Amino acid sequence: MKKIKKTIPIYIMLLPGFLYLLINNYLPMGGLIIAFKDVKWNIGIWNSEWVGLANFEYLFKTPDAFNITRNTIVYNIVFILLNLVVALLYAVLLSEIKKKICVKIYQTVIMLPFMISMVIVSYLAYAFLAGDNGLFNGLLNNLGRDSISWYTEPKYWPVILVVINCWKSVGYGTVVYLSSILGVDQELYEAAAVDGISELQKIRYITLPMIKPTIITMMLLNVGRIFYSDFGLFYQVPMSSGALIDVTSTIDTYVYRGLITLGDVGMSSAAGFYQSIVGFILIVLANWFTNRYSKENALF
Amino acid sequence: MKKKFICVFLAVVMTATLLAGCGNNNSGSSGGSSSSHTETENVETVDSSTSSVLKDGEKTVLTIVFPGSSSSPASLTKVEKAITEIVNETIDCEVDLQIIEWGVYKEQTNLMLSSGESIDAVLTIGTVAAAANSGQIMDISDMIGIYAPETIELMGNYITGCYMGDELYGLPSYRDFASASGLVCRTDILEELSVDPDTIKSWEDVNTLLGQVKEAYPDLDVLVPANLQAGMLYMMMNGYFDQLYSEIAGVYYDGRDGLTAHSIYESDEFMEVAKQAYDWNQKGYFIADSTTLTETRQAFLSAGSCFGYIGTIHPGTKTQESINAGVDVTTIQINKQGSGTSNIANIQYSIPSASDAPEKALALLNLIYSNPDIQNLLHWGIEGEDYVLVADSVAGYPDGVNSDNTGWSNETWLTGNATIGYAWETDVEDVWTKYEEFNNNANFSPALGFSFDSSSVKNEITAVSNVRDKYKALIYSGLSDPEETVAAFNKELQTAGIQKIVDEMQAQLDAWSQSNQ
Amino acid sequence: MSTTNKKVQIIANLVMICATAFTVIPFLLLFAASLTDSTEIALNGYSFFPAKLSLEAYAYIWNEKQQIFRAYAITIFTTVVGTTVSLLITTLYAYALSKPSFIGKKFFSLFLLFTMLFNGGLVPTYTMYTRYLGIKNSIWALIVPSLLMSAMNVILVRSYIQNNIPLSLTEAAYIDGANEYRIFAQIVCPLSKPILVTIGLFIGVGYWNDWTNGLYYVTDNKLYSIQQLLNNMLKNIEYLSSNSAAMASTIIDVPKSTVRMAIAVVGILPILVIYPYVQKYFVKGIALGAVKG
């Protein structure tokens, strides 16, 4: 009884969030069945006919299926790894720098790209990559070289997209890891300093291990999103240029292009469901894996 | 203990979800009296059985949704009140006009229709077939004779063109009902080169003209794209095919082989356009980076950095483009205009399935289509404030009012039937006659009245759309040798399943022509 | 020791300077573009040093100032209110989840995580909010849907609390007679400042940048946020500059691309101003040893 009494405040704390998730996420979740139905709005979702997996076919039967899946996954893996390394690098460096003013400036600037929308990024990218008046081509010409028609040459785009994604998202990871580093108990460092260790050793043996939990958490969360892609990055930045489609097409852009005339809600819902299921399986696997090696950091 | 908790809770959540799903139930039946297609003889009044439905003493709020550049123009409330007053003579209601901005119109109306929001009339642009098939809008073929007889009289043929089999899903909005393409270009350059636009009749003539322009103005970008990211000569295909599924397949407008479905990309015309694009690109007539521009054709025209573009032509194009670009343009039509179901049925006022008062809504639409006072209110706003009569049946801005500060501005083609109202001071003289001529002299497609049901080929359409996006801008901008690219394009289209779409279309056409014999 | 320290400082600063330069260059371009004359762009494209400067983009915005100020007000309101409420319920949930064990812990944990993986979709969510909760075209439509609490944030806070606030601290507080609420407010929150500020920042930016809620739920232009204004403008341009449908339109006003740049600048300016103030919370070295139960 006393235990229940002690737990009541906990339930009360959980209540607002719980109610919110119920209303915002769970009640609409019934809509997942749209993926399996041929929905007619005049008779409602509930009364519409079941069509099994028919709405999913277009994702697999198309000749592009392999391509879009490969693109989505490979880009995401590169994004996750690269952003991890760079964000950690920035976070560690920022935590080391003594001059407050410098840190303030660096931090503000690194965070900036995170704050603007991808559409604006696509305009900026265009300013750099435009064939005629673009800045890169201007530079190349000044160095005596020919202009490159960036928007019709697929081979440069994997790099371009990775760089742009890093530029835009690394600020997020940096701040998360930085705040984690700042939370490390100073006494640990002081104790180590007494034993006389170098800066590098400090980073390697104290800082990184102490924030390992945060890193693992971030990785697990990212793994669940591996079938999703940033629509703005893959559709708007390449200016939907046809020549680049093979290297910039992901599941999300494929669905968008395909359904824009059809407007079929069952098919787009099926795509979303497919992405969710894969993410779900991956997180469960990754979580199980984490449970075996580092139990306290698993998500559940 | 824990497990039990979870089970019970999940059960509660599931039930709640089910209930939420149930709430989406709508009856899609159309109301209306028992009499069938009897037409009323009296144009002015409605007979007693219908008037009991319309004048039932309840002030139903009838919401009409259409697009505009601002969701709350200054005169909105006044216009609503004025229309309500007139309408109340025959219908008990309150008129509510909901204006949604252009760029978000499609998404927002789609949400409104899918979620069963209580709106009573909505302008559907380009999505009528899809909306009808997914049950978003209702079939009004039973009601139209009873509640909108005047509209039938005025719009006659065009309404017939909107029928999908036996069902009718909306009233077409009067505008140009045919597609044609040609050259839109700066008048000042034409005059400088002493070219008489009437002498330009074919694409070959255009070719010569462009050559002259290039020679006279070597630094000018001769042509810019009409649409962003669609390719330079995307519009050149307008007028050849009645595209029964847009940008994929259709029949020839001029009926040369009757009801034979073709993939537009395998046609000779497409190859010609591709070659023309390649040729003009080689000659340097195209602006650089044409497939990835961010500036619109209006911006280039007004900056004076180009000669013109290849685009859609109809009687209102000259006024429209000149005003938007701020420079005077000349329109030169090359392809003969073609008229098919999609041209007519593309833009309709439909009644959503979720409407509570479809009879009243239809009667209201009828008034909009047939009553000049309502038409002028909807089109031009409040007389004296937003417009004044400058001549017989011609309206214009009052002193001090212009397009920036006017309290009301609405597009001609979405007021239903603009022909019964005033014309605008900047329109060409007898603009409505010009529209009629344009519409009536079109090549009428043999498939007029046919509507393609795409439900069995959705997968192929998705795949084909992706392939098309890969090649279309490239080919229309002539970036590489068409012999190779068009062949590669068609090959990929075949792999994606375009033949299935064409075959399905052919089968449906054959069945339709049988049932129409 | 001081030489290695200095070496580290130099390397660290050098790397960060490069990183900063790399990051900021496109912004300089954005700013330059917003100040360029639009004919110049049509003729010669973008440049860091535009041949012809012009304030026309900002003049255009100034003309619309009523709507823009209003949009700012709306955005500020929703950001402040949204962030505060969101931070509160997120942290409460996260703190509860960080407790070692209690009846139903696994349930509430899974309840949270599952929402990250499955989404009912746009139409059901829209139906929920407009038909059952009736928030369309109200200020709540900008605050509540999707943004008020996210599983990711909860997990980040929970992890932080679990890893950085030793149980011994809270145990000691219990023994001293404090109840959960006091512990939460007076011990956990102050010690979690870095993560709370971080999450608060993300939530705040999320609200500031959001335009999807506006897109779906707001049709009344008196309730537009800054981002929705920009997004609508961009979408209008896309739509109106296409030439396909048969439209004899005489009323289009297609803003030049410089205006889009200017609005983007206007959109991020407040963040640039506020962010440095937020930064002071990223203070190193909260020595736990100093806080006695």
Domains in chain B: ranges and CATH: 45-173+342-452 (3.40.190.10), 181-341 (3.40.190.10)
C-alpha Rg value of chain C to the nearest Å:
24
Q: Which residues of B touch C232 (CB under 8 A)?
A: 101, 103-104
User: Which chain C residues contact residue B179 at CB under 8 A?
Assistant: 246
With respect to residue A98, please indicate whether it lies within any of the assigned structural domains.
yes
Q: What is the pLDDT of residue A1?
A: 62
C18 part of contact set with chain A, CB < 8 Å: no
* Total domains, chain A: 1
* d(C-alpha A180, C-alpha A201), whole Å: 19
**Cβ within 8 Å, pair C244-B227:** yes
Distance (Å, rounded) from C-alpha B197 to C-alpha A179? 70
What pLDDT, on the 0 to 100 scale, is given for residue B58? Answer: 86
User: Would you give per-residue pLDDT tens digits along chain B (517 residues)?
Assistant: 344 444 444 444 444 444 433 333 333 333 333 333 333 333 444 466 777 888 888 889 999 999 987 888 889 999 999 999 999 999 999 999 999 988 888 889 998 998 888 899 999 988 888 888 888 999 999 999 999 999 999 888 888 888 888 899 999 998 888 889 999 999 999 999 999 999 999 999 999 999 999 999 988 889 999 888 788 999 999 889 999 898 999 999 998 998 999 999 999 999 999 999 999 999 999 988 888 887 788 888 888 889 999 998 888 888 778 877 888 899 999 999 999 888 888 899 999 999 999 999 999 999 999 999 999 999 888 998 888 888 888 888 888 887 777 888 788 888 888 888 888 877 777 888 888 899 989 988 988 888 888 888 999 999 999 899 889 988 999 988 999 999 999 999 999 999 999 999 999 999 998 887 6
Model pLDDT, residue B20: 39
Does C122 score more than 70 pLDDT? yes
Query: Cα B292 to the chain's mean position, in Å?
Result: 25
Domain presence at residue A13: no
Q: Which of B376, B378, B393, B375 has the alpha carbon at shortest distance from B430?
A: B393
* Nearest Cα to Cα of residue B417 among B337, B349, B346: B349
Position A147 scores a pLDDT of 83
Tokens of B279: 């040729």
Within 10 angstroms of residue B119's Cβ, the number of other Cβ atoms is 22
| The residue to which tokens 């997990």 are assigned | C155
Which of C117, C123, C133 faces A279 most closely, judged by CB atoms? C117
- Which position has the higher pLDDT, B26 or C169? C169
Spatial CB neighbours of B204, under 8 Å, sequence gap ≥ 6: none
Contacts of B311 in chain C (CB under 8 A): 243
Chain C residue with minimum CA distance to B431: C248
Q: Is B326 helix (H, G, I), strand (E, B) or coil?
A: coil
On chain A, the residues whose CB falls within 8 A of the CB of C286 are: 182-183, 186
Measured CA to CA, the distance from residue A96 to residue C284 in angstroms comes to 10
Beta strand residue intervals within B108-229, DSSP E: 121-125, 171-172, 181-186, 221-224
Instruction: State whether C42 and B70 contact (CB < 8 Å).
Output: no
Q: How close C241 comes to chain B (CA, Å)?
A: 6
**C-alpha to C-alpha distance for A94 and B266, rounded to whole angstroms:** 60
**Touching partners of A (3+ C-beta pairs < 8 Å):** B, C
Are residues A116 and C287, on separate chains, in Cβ contact within 8 Å? no
Q: Of A129, A109, B295, A160, give the one whose Cα is nearest residue C27.
A: A109
Interface test with B, best of A45, A119, A251, A261 (most B CBs within 10 A): A261
Tokens 């393409």 locate to B181
Q: CATH number for the domain including A215?
A: 1.10.3720.10
Which partners does chain C have (≥3 C-beta pairs < 8 Å)?
A, B
Instruction: Give A44's contacts in chain B (Cβ within 8 Å).
Output: 21-22, 24-26, 116
Query: Are the C-beta atoms of B393 and B423 separated by less than 8 Å?
Result: yes
Task: Report CB contact under 8 Å: C131, B319.
Answer: no
Do B39 and B152 touch, CB atoms closer than 8 A?
Answer: yes
As a whole number of angstroms, the distance between CA C161 and CA C170 comes to 11
Question: Whole-angstrom Cα distance, residue A16 to residue C94?
Answer: 12
Q: Which of C17, C23, C276 sits opposite A104 (nearest CB)?
A: C276
The two structure tokens encoding residue B44: 């002015």
> What's the confidence (pLDDT) of residue B483?
93
Q: Which helix (H) or strand (E) holds B65?
A: strand B60-68
pLDDT tens digit sequence for A261-293: 777 888 888 988 998 888 889 888 888 888 888
- In the block, tokens 């059952």 appear at C132
Amino acid at A64: D
Looking at the complex, report in whole angstroms how far the Cα of residue A137 sits from the nearest Cα belonging to chain B: 13
Positions of E strands within B164-266 = 171-172, 181-186, 221-224, 241-245, 249-252, 262-263
Q: CA-CA distance, B135 to A266, in Å (whole number)?
A: 13
Find the CB nearest C120 among A30, A96, A265.
A30
pLDDT tens digits along C206-228: 898 888 888 889 988 889 988 88
User: What domains appear along chain C, each with residue ranges and CATH number?
Assistant: 65-290 (1.10.3720.10)
Percent above pLDDT 90 for chain C: 16
Cα-trace Rg, chain B: 25
Q: What are the start-end ranges of the E strands in C124-253?
A: none
pLDDT at B136 (0 to 100): 92
pLDDT surpasses 90 at A231: no
User: What is the helix (H) or strand (E) element at residue C260, kind and residue range?
Assistant: helix C257-278
The residue range of the domain holding A172 is 75-220+231-245
Q: What is the mean pLDDT of residues C116-124?
A: 83
* Residue C216 to residue B230, Cβ atoms within 8 A: no
Full DSSP string of C106-128: HHHHHHHHHHHH----HHHHHHI
- With a cut of 60, say whether residue C247 has pLDDT above it: no
Cα–Cα distance measured from residue B161 to residue B139, given in angstroms and rounded to the nearest whole number: 15
- The count of other CB atoms within 10 Å of the CB of residue C106 is 15
Q: Which of A115, A128, A297 sits opposite C205 (nearest CB)?
A: A115
Q: What is the Cα–Cα distance from A203 to A210, expressed in whole angstroms? A: 10
pLDDT of residue B341: 86
Asked if residue A33 belongs to a domain, the reply is no
**Whole-angstrom Cα distance, residue A36 to residue A52?**
5
What tokens does B164 get?
Answer: 């999908």
- Do C114 and C78 meet the contact criterion of CB atoms below 8 Å apart? no
DSSP state of A235: I
Contact B68, B102 (CB under 8 A): yes
Angstroms from B430 CA to nearest CA on chain A: 36
Q: Tell me if chain A has a CB within 8 Å of the CB of C282.
A: yes
- φ/ψ of B394, rounded to 5, equals -125, 130
- Among the listed residues C230, C206, C136, A260, the one whose alpha carbon sits nearest the alpha carbon of residue B103: C230
CA distance C247 to chain A (A): 19
Q: Residue C3 pLDDT > 60, yes or no? A: no
pLDDT value at C293 more than 50: no
- pLDDT for A135-177, tens place per residue? 888 888 888 888 888 888 889 999 999 999 999 999 888 888 8
**Contact at CB, C202 and A172, closer than 8 angstroms:** yes
User: Which of B117, B179, B298 comes nearest C241 by C-beta?
Assistant: B298
Residue A42 to residue B136, Cβ atoms within 8 A: yes
State the helix-helix crossing angle for A118-129 and A157-182, rounded to 10 degrees. 130
Measure the CA–CA gap between B515 and A60, rounded to whole angstroms. 37
Nearest chain A Cα distance for residue B392, angstroms = 43
